[in-house]
Structure 1
Amino acid sequence: MRKKETTRLTITAIFAAILILQTFVPNIGYVRILPTLPAITTIPLTIAIYGSLMGPKSGLLFGLFWGITRLIVAYTQPGDMVSLMLFQNPIISLVPSIVAGWLPGLIGKYMHQEEIGYILSGAVTSLANTFLVIGLTSLLFMNNAASLIKYLGNTTGSNSLFIVLIVALGINGVVESVFTAVLTPIIVLPLKKVLKRIMI
């Protein structure tokens, strides 16, 4: 039992270090294509792998850790005005991150076909993060949509905030979900075999 706990703690420390690097080293976790628009996020891959390996409870806590780092970045080194406006709000920073961490562990726990389960885990992690950010932003900025719409590149203000967010963030979300869905099973399956040998 102690060996398993030590192994889990070691894995968590390694993944926490990876997440910190992705968060604070430019263009690793947040890849900026256009300076004014939100970055493409590679962090959901790390979240999906960790959640798939460690289960829903550990994944939820790791998602919370991601949300806290996201909040810190929004206050200390925001890369664009949209990220600053969105992720300085604790609800937008924390809730999507927590759910994104919890879901891959839950899917991995109940899916019997591992490969399909991990593909689904990867896709769902990214999509849950993206669409919860869009949904929560639409609700929380409902009464102050004009300023955010302007920074998202819609100067006419003719479209609703939800539509503008879908266009601005949804494309990133689709790219992230394909990337994460493809790589999650490739990384998780061999890692899981190694962990089974270590924990015996």
Structure 2
Amino acid sequence: MRREETRRMTITAVFAAILIIQTFLQNIGYVRIIPALPAITTIPMTIAIYGTLMGTKAGLGFGLFWGITRLIDAYIQPGNMVSLMLFQNPVISVVPSVLAGFFPSLITKAMGKTNYAKLGYIFSGAVTALTNTIMVILLTSIFFMHDPASLVHYLGNYSSSTPLILILITALGANGVIEAIFTALVVPVIVTPLNLVLKRA
């Protein structure tokens, strides 16, 4: 039992270190392609791998850790005004991150009981990234529904009559799709050999 706890703590420490590096070193966890818009994030890949390997409770905790680091990052080194306005809000920073950490192990467990276990890794990666993007869009539309102009001003040239949620889908949706494809492709490549190593340990 103690050996298993030590192993889990070691794995968590390694992933926490990776997440901190991704968060606070430029263009590793948040890759900024269009300066005015939020960065494309590679962190859902880390969240999906950890949640898949460690289970639901651990995934929730790791998602919370991501949310807290994202909140801190928005205060100490926001990359642009949109990131500052969105992620200095604790709800927008934390809730999508926690939910993103929750789903990977659920999907992996469900599909692990079938003949499509490896396909579950692909789905868990895609769902992790899409959960983050969708929840950020939904929560942002709620928090800015009474004053959308303050945010839309930084998102580009949109008509004042365009609903905020459509603007957010247009502005942030492309990032979400790229993140989902990237995460879906990378997660099975990393998780498959890691699972074999952990089973032998």
Q: What TM-score does the superposition give when structure 2 sets the normalisation length? A: 0.97
Q: CA deviation at 1:154?
A: 2.7
Which of 120, 123, 132 is the equivalent residue of 1:120?
123
**Identical-pair percentage:** 67
- Find out whether 1:136 has 2:139 as its counterpart: yes
The residue type paired with residue 187 of structure 1 is I
* Count of matched residue pairs: 198
Give me the whole-angstrom Cα distance separating, in 1, the residues matched to 2:96 and 2:107.
17
Checking the alignment, whether the CA contact within 8 Å between 1:62 and 1:101 is kept in structure 2 is: yes
For 1:5, the equivalent position in structure 2 comes to: 5
1:13-92 residue pairs with structure 2 within 5 A? Answer: 13-92=13-92
Distance, in Å, in 2 between the alignment partners of 1:37 and 1:136 is: 17
Q: Which amino acid aligns with 1:88?
A: Q
Runs of 4+, deviation exceeding 3 Å: none
Query: CA shift at 1:37, angstroms?
Result: 0.8
Q: Secondary structure at the match of 1:111?
A: helix
CA contact (8 A) 1:154 1:164 kept: no
Instruction: State how far apart, in whole Å, the 1-side matches of 2:160 and 2:68 are.
Output: 32
What is the Cα-based RMSD across aligned positions, in Å?
A: 0.8
> Which position in structure 2 is the counterpart of 1:106?
106
- State the Cα distance separating 1:144 from its structure 2 match: 1.0
Aligned partner letter, 2:154: Y
Given residue 67 of structure 1, which amino acid in structure 2 is its aligned partner? G
Q: Does 1:174 align with 2:182?
A: no
2:158–2:167 contact (8 Å) kept in structure 1: no
Asked if structure 2 preserves the Cα contact closer than 8 Å seen for 1:28 and 1:42, the reply is: yes
Q: Which residue is equivalent to 1:151?
A: 154
- Contact kept, 8 Å, 2:38 with 2:83, in 1: the verdict is yes
Structure 2 counterpart of 1:186, one-letter code: V
Whole-Å separation in 1 of the counterparts to 2:173 and 2:148: 18
Map Cα deviations across residues 13-62 of structure 1 (whole Å, 9 max, x no partner): 00000000000000000000011111000000000000000011100000
2:132 corresponds to which letter in structure 1?
A: N
- The amino acid across from 1:190 in the alignment is P
Deviations, residues 39-94 of structure 1 (Å, cap 9, x unaligned) = 00000000000000001110000000000000001111100000000001111000
Q: What amino acid sits opposite 1:69 in the alignment? A: T
TM-score (norm 1): 0.97
2:200 matched residue in structure 1: 197
Displacement after TM superposition at 1:106 (Å) = 1.2
Runs (5+) with no aligned partner, structure 1: none
Letter in 1 for 2:140: T
Q: Structure 2: how far apart are the matches of 1:100 and 1:89?
A: 17
